Amino acid sequence: MRKLKQPLIWLVAALFVGLNVLVLGRLLDLGPAAPAATGVPAAADARPVVRVGVISRYAPTLIYDAYQPVMDYLSAAGAHRYELKLSASYEDAAEQLRRGEVSASFFGAWIYARLGPSLGLAPVLAPRGEDGGASSRAVLIAAAASPLRSVADLAGRRVALPSRDSYAAHWFAATCLGAAGLAAADLDSVHHFGYHQTVVYRVLDGRFDAGVVKESVAREFGGQAIRVVARSGPYPGPPLVIRAGDRSPALAEMVELLLTLDPADARDAAVLRGWDNEFSRGFVAVDARTYEPVVRLLDEGGGP
Amino acid sequence: MIPRLPPAGSLRTRILLTTGATITVIMMVVSWGILVQWRQTVLAKERSYAHAVARAFSVTALEALISEANELAPAEGFLDGYIADFMRQNPRLRFIAVFGPDGGQVARSVDGPRALAAPPLPPADAAADPASWFRRHDGPGWLLETGLPLTTGRKCWGSVALGFEAESVRRELSRIFFLLLGLVVAITGAMLLVLWVLLDRLLRSLRDLVGAMDALELAGDGPPDLPARDDEIGVLFRHFQEMGRRLGRSRRELISAQEQVYHAERLAAAGRLAAGVAHEINNPINGVRHCIYAIRSDPDNREQTLAYLQMMDEGMEQAASIVKKLLGFARKQAPAREAVDLNAAVASVTRLLSFDLERRGVELRLDLQPDLPAITGDTQLLQEVLMNLLLNAADAADGSGAVQLSTRAGGDGRVRIEVADRGQGIAAQDLPRIFDPFFTTKATGEGTGLGLSISLGIVEAHGGAIDVVSEPGAGTTFTVTLPAEATP
Ligand SMILES: Nc1ncnc2c1ncn2[C@@H]1O[C@H](COP(=O)(O)OP(=O)(O)OP(=O)(O)O)[C@@H](O)[C@H]1O
Ligand SMILES: [Mg+2]
């Protein structure tokens, strides 16, 4: 028994030391080994591609944030793979559509009225407005703490506007100011931004006293920080535009999928909630006649 | 001779080894725990740093990829310039690679002195969360690589992979390790040192105690001398001193008990004598009575009266001599140094006992060697020995035969007295104890168990010995050997 004890103690000691070395070796190493880096991408989507154009007036990542969820929904629900196609200008976008590089394009109401009819393009749907139709509105906003109470107070003020090619900018120049008895020259300065959100930021940070944006964007910022000073009458919202007479099944599928989205339906509402605020009520069908008032306005006064 | 303590101090070695091993094991386990925890914290910190850098890089990379896919390419070589700039700004970066959605490499950092030569691979699953891992490369050693998918919504634009040098992390981990190792060694060493000192003091105290034990003499007086201490060792010392004191006390008690026993034995012997004495005195008194009766019945016979008076005188003289002897026996005297004629001593003892023996039907046969050499000693004490042996023999042979007493002069100048009986003998298990004081097999009142003990003391005081040979059922022989020139 005593004879056995001695080697046993040495054995245990040796085991302990060995274990120590092993554990410490592992602890001092930085492993675990790298995961097998195969580089094989997720199974490629082999379905036919349908491209949808968007004008890139601002950061591409922001445009994707706003429109990619729509493409994801269409790809998941339809038989095609829907991809966004950005273009540098409205002219490019219209040209791409005309050449067939894209099947449809998100246009502004104003730009459609300016380019669409002459290039043989037709609107198919637009975001649903609060009246249930394709209506949209523009609003004049000021910071909540601003002393601005009416359009008339704008004299000598700095005003931020969206793109020259937007209905909102046009409404401000052609209608809003005039109704208050002011002219563009009465203002301190006017600046156009590519992105409606940028207008809100500039008003909020005080670099501009007032700004004009789509009502949907003003709503995004809630009622606390900004205040609506004036509101335009309804006008048709920004349409999805196609080549007139295009009867391709992919297009039919896309229009169908978007028009059937019902905000009253819980599943559809969940889908719409993830999208840009402008699309929150879904879409309604439109045609060239819907935009005739805008076309007329354009013919009358030209751009701001 | 017993060594005071084992030279190597095996107790100390064992305690030191066991404690050292235990402390080491505990410290190692604790160190493991700390190291594991520390490692996790360090690695998690590194990972989150890598993720943050990768995220910062990916924003612009994503924009570049999107622009490129939409043919909105900003400036030519934008991504390459961005990568080079990013590499410059972050000195820990070793490579940056951008992959397309198909896994093909779109752009990557240029190989340089601190950049990686082999092209990195894209993350395994581009759609997964940012993943990071450590990998060892031939040139720069350990790298922390992190992969991040570039997505908008469900669309994947590709991925980026960034590699950070991780050798510094490794160095930090091993620095922690060596720190812990140093701590373990230092703490274990310090504890063992303290333990060694304590053990040394303890063992020195033990050595003191062992020394005191060795020095303790039963004959000496007073408790053993040890330093006063107020710890457990002190308690041990005090108990040892108390034990020494008790030993001394019991030795003194033993001596006084022996003295008492000696006196008691003398009293007992005197009692035994009384019976014999009464008989001895009765005989002459009866004779005197008989003479008086005879004279009274014929007072006128003058001749006869004179003869009877002569007989009466002899009887009175005998009685007087018995009383004188008894007085001499009972009187406590210092042991004398005189020439003793053992045959005469035997004769006087047997005379005293003859009545008692006769009454009990025990025949006493004497075989005395004539011209036995005289020895030096105390006659009275030696007579006591003889009487004790004879009484024991008579007790054993009670009613069943003879007791033989013989004296012999040995060739070696010694004298031997033998008392043999044919009695019941002594049981083997009693034999070693018969000389113990108060050992007796006799009924209470019949034996005190002192006889043999006292006798042995007397014989040994004369420089002699008592031997006994006994066979149960057959008889017992006691042999007293005394030197011719015995001195008490
Ligand atoms: N001759 C003998 N034969 C058998 N047993 C003996 C003999 N002599 C001694 N013993 C045993 O030894 C014992 C001790 O004897 P010891 O003379 O010391 O005491 P004791 O005779 O019992 O009492 P006492 O004090 O009256 O002599 C006896 O009780 C007896 O058992
Ligand atoms: Mg006796």
pLDDT band at B313 (very low <50, low <70, confident <90, very high): confident
Residue of chain B with shortest Cα separation from A67: B153
Beta bridge partners of A135: A236
Report the alpha-carbon distance of residue A239 to residue A171 in Å, rounded: 18
CATH class of the domain defined by A138-233: alpha beta
Token pair belonging to A137: 């509105």
Report the alpha-carbon distance of residue B154 to residue B394 in Å, rounded: 130
| DSSP H or E segment with residue A295 | helix A292-301
Q: Which of 55-74 (A) contact B at CB < 8 A?
A: 56, 59-61, 64-65, 68-69, 71-72
Query: Any idea where the domains of chain A sit in the sequence?
Result: 49-129+237-299, 138-233
pLDDT greater than 90 at residue B34: no
pLDDT greater than 50 at residue A149: yes
pLDDT greater than 70 at residue B327: no
What does the mean pLDDT of chain A come to?
84
* Mutate: best of A30, A57, A62, partner B, most B CBs <10 A: A30
Task: Give B95's Cβ-side CA count (13 Å radius).
Answer: 26
Q: Is the CB of B362 under 6 A from ligand 1?
A: no
Residue of minimum CA distance from atom 10 in ligand 1:
B392
pLDDT greater than 70 at residue A34: no
Q: What is the Rg, in whole angstroms, of the alpha carbon atoms belonging to chain B?
A: 57
Q: What is the mean pLDDT of residues B189-211?
A: 87
Q: Is the CB of B439 under 6 A from ligand 1?
A: yes
CA of B207 vs chain A CAs: smallest distance (Å): 28
Least CB-CB distance to A37: which of B66, B122, B169? B122
Contacts of B166 in chain A (CB under 8 A): 30
Report the alpha-carbon distance of residue B460 to residue B488 in Å, rounded: 8
Residue A56: Cβ within 10 Å count? 22
pLDDT tens track for A244-303: 888 889 899 999 999 999 989 999 999 898 888 888 899 999 988 888 888 888 887 654
The one-character DSSP state at A241 is E
Q: Is the CB of B447 under 6 A from ligand 1?
A: yes
Beta carbons of A93 and A105 less than 8 angstroms apart: yes
Least CB-CB distance to B154: which of A24, A44, A72? A72
Of the listed ligands, the closest to the CA of B266 is 1
pLDDT band at A73 (very low <50, low <70, confident <90, very high): very high
Report the alpha-carbon distance of residue B186 to residue A261 in Å, rounded: 74
pLDDT tens track for A174-199: 888 888 888 888 888 889 988 888 89
Token pair belonging to A83: 């991809």
Token pair belonging to B159: 């991925």
User: Could you give the 3-state DSSP secondary structure of residue A52?
Assistant: strand
Say which range, B79-83, B172-176, B215-219, B296-300, has the weakest mean pLDDT: B215-219
Residue of minimum CA distance from atom 31 in ligand 1:
B441
Classify each residue of B359-374 as buried b or exposed e, where b means 16 or more C-beta atoms within 10 Å of its C-beta: eeebebeeeeeeebeb
Q: What is the Rg, in whole angstroms, of the alpha carbon atoms belonging to chain A?
A: 29
pLDDT band at B5 (very low <50, low <70, confident <90, very high): low
Token pair belonging to B361: 């039907």
pLDDT greater than 50 at residue B206: yes
Report the alpha-carbon distance of residue A207 to residue A232 in Å, rounded: 24
Report the alpha-carbon distance of residue B308 to residue B286 in Å, rounded: 13
- C-alpha distances (whole Å) from B206 to each of B185, B239, B413 are 31, 14, 54
CATH fold of A49-129+237-299 reads D-Maltodextrin-Binding Protein; domain 2 (3.40.190)
Report the alpha-carbon distance of residue B397 to residue B421 in Å, rounded: 6
Least CB-CB distance to A28: which of B70, B156, B177? B177
pLDDT greater than 70 at residue A38: no
Q: Do A64 and B169 touch (CB under 8 A)?
A: no
pTM of the model: 0.55
Contacts of A34 in chain B (CB under 8 A): 133-135, 145
pLDDT greater than 50 at residue B331: no
Q: What is the mean pLDDT of residues B461-473?
A: 91
Task: Please state, for a pLDDT cut of 70, what percent of chain A lies above it.
Answer: 92
Ordered domains of chain B (ranges, CATH):
11-175 (3.30.450.20), 333-488 (3.30.565.10)
Q: What is the pLDDT of residue B282?
A: 77
Q: What is the pLDDT of residue B9?
A: 55
Q: Does A43 touch chain B (CB under 8 A)?
A: no
Beta carbons of B159 and B147 less than 8 angstroms apart: yes
Q: What value of ipTM does the predicted structure carry?
A: 0.72
pLDDT tens track for A198-233: 899 999 888 999 999 988 888 888 767 888 988 888
Report the alpha-carbon distance of residue B399 to residue B401 in Å, rounded: 6
Contacts of A72 in chain B (CB under 8 A): 153-155
Residue of minimum CA distance from atom 17 in ligand 1:
B451
Residue of minimum CA distance from atom 29 in ligand 1:
B440
Q: What are phi and psi of A218, to 5 degrees?
A: -60, -40
Contacts of A61 in chain B (CB under 8 A): 59, 62-63, 66, 152
Length of chain A: 304
> Are A49-129+237-299 and A138-233 the same fold in CATH?
yes
Say which range, B182-186, B237-241, B315-319, B368-372, has the weakest mean pLDDT: B315-319
Contacts of B70 in chain A (CB under 8 A): 56, 60, 84-87
